[in-house]
Amino acid sequence: MDWYATHSRFSEPGAQAPWLDATPSELGALRRAASELVFHYWAQGDITRHGFPASRREEINLRYAADMFARLRELDPAPPGGPRSPLKRIVGCCRDFTLLFVSMARHHGIPARTRVGFANYLVPGWHLDHVVAEIHDGTGWRLVEPQLQDDFGEFDLLDVPRDRFLVGADAWSAARAGDLDPDRLVVSPELDVPFLRGLPYARHNLVLDLAALNKHEMILWDLWGDLNDDAPLAPAAVARADELAELMADAGLEQLRAAFEAEDVRVPPVIRSLTPPEQHPVEVVLR
């Protein structure tokens, strides 16, 4: 698992690496540190109601851990590990909590990766679009929830049950098999956008999860290859997602790397991004 203990171009802290030397290496403390670094851009209503200027909403497009840590250091020079008031956190989402956790874990030599899928513990009765971390503890991979506070209480945040968070392949396969109502897979129950619900979004997260397994920790509204905002899905897209989900359910690293070489899923140098809420496509040149 040495490969997952090294940085990707997205998790690399760059010039902020010495700042992270003071972060805790114990997993529970590291998870708590990550939970203090981000203020979710919609989970608690409009950020301006919490004292943020509207301009800070642009922070949701911070893509690289180096830029995120630089902004955090600008807001508060104390290294991650202690409590931070909301205004000293970056504005972001689950992907950002998780990328920062993975970056700090890799900084300490812990094999870690992000996983994209759906959580059934955020809103009762729904499987919400979500990103968590996965760490290798020497015996196997276990899911870690970097976003929630210690008092969550439903389960161990350092060992999220696999039936509470469904990784991309599991969510797709369950929906296709009829074990899970596809209409329960959503970004938000209130968001009535066809692409952001059901099988179209399950396929989106399936491909993002394949990218994450290949250390491409993408922003959730990124599009590339055959990803688009079509709904409903074409039969060929459904068949291709079936193929990927079957492979990802039991693939080793070399198989995952080989699958990621396919033109329809490989991340190219230039992608499109649909920043919410406007969702107008913007071209992004990756570093």
Residue 245's closest CA among 214, 274, 202?
202
pLDDT for the residue 157: 98
Angle in degrees, 0-180, between the axes of helices 27-35 and 94-107, rounded to the nearest 10:
140
CA-CA-CA-CA torsion sign (190, 273, 247, 212)? negative
Helix, strand, coil percentages (3-state) for the chain, rounded to 5, are 40, 20, 40
pTM: 0.97
User: Which residues partner with 222 through β-bridges?
Assistant: 273
Closest to 191 measured CA to CA, from 269, 272, 108, 276: 276
pLDDT in tens, the chain (287 residues): 899 999 999 999 999 999 999 999 999 999 999 999 999 999 999 999 999 999 999 999 999 999 999 999 999 999 999 999 999 999 999 999 999 999 999 999 999 999 999 999 999 999 999 999 999 999 999 999 999 999 999 999 999 999 999 999 999 999 999 999 999 999 999 999 999 999 999 999 999 999 999 999 999 999 999 999 989 999 999 999 999 999 999 999 999 999 999 999 999 999 999 999 888 899 999 99
Q: Is residue 210 within 8 Å of 256, Cβ to Cβ?
A: yes
Q: 170: part of which helix (H) or strand (E)?
A: helix 168-177
- Give yes or no for a contact between 215 and 113, defined as CB atoms under 8 angstroms apart: yes
DSSP 158: T
CA distance 155 to 142: 13
Residues contacting 1, CB < 8 A, separation 6+: 111, 136
Distance CA(9)–CA(169), nearest Å, equals 24
Q: How far apart are CA 275 and CA 221, in angstroms?
A: 6
Structure tokens at 160: 């999220």
Comparing CA positions, the residue from 140, 90, 136, 98 lying closest to residue 117 is: 98
Structure tokens at 202: 């399950």
Q: Write the CB contacts of 114 (distance below 8 Å, at least 6 apart in sequence).
A: 95, 98, 99, 102, 131, 132, 133, 134, 212, 217
How many CA atoms, within 13 angstroms, populate the side-chain half-sphere of residue 15?
A: 5
Helices 65-75 and 94-107, packing angle to 10 deg: 100
pLDDT tens digits, 199-227: 999 999 999 999 999 999 999 999 999 99
Helices and strands (H and E) in the chain: how many: 8, 10
- Could you tell me how far CA 122 lies from the centroid of its own chain? 15
108: containing domain: 2-285
Closest of 246, 244, 286, 240 to residue 267, by C-alpha: 286
Number of domains in the chain: 1
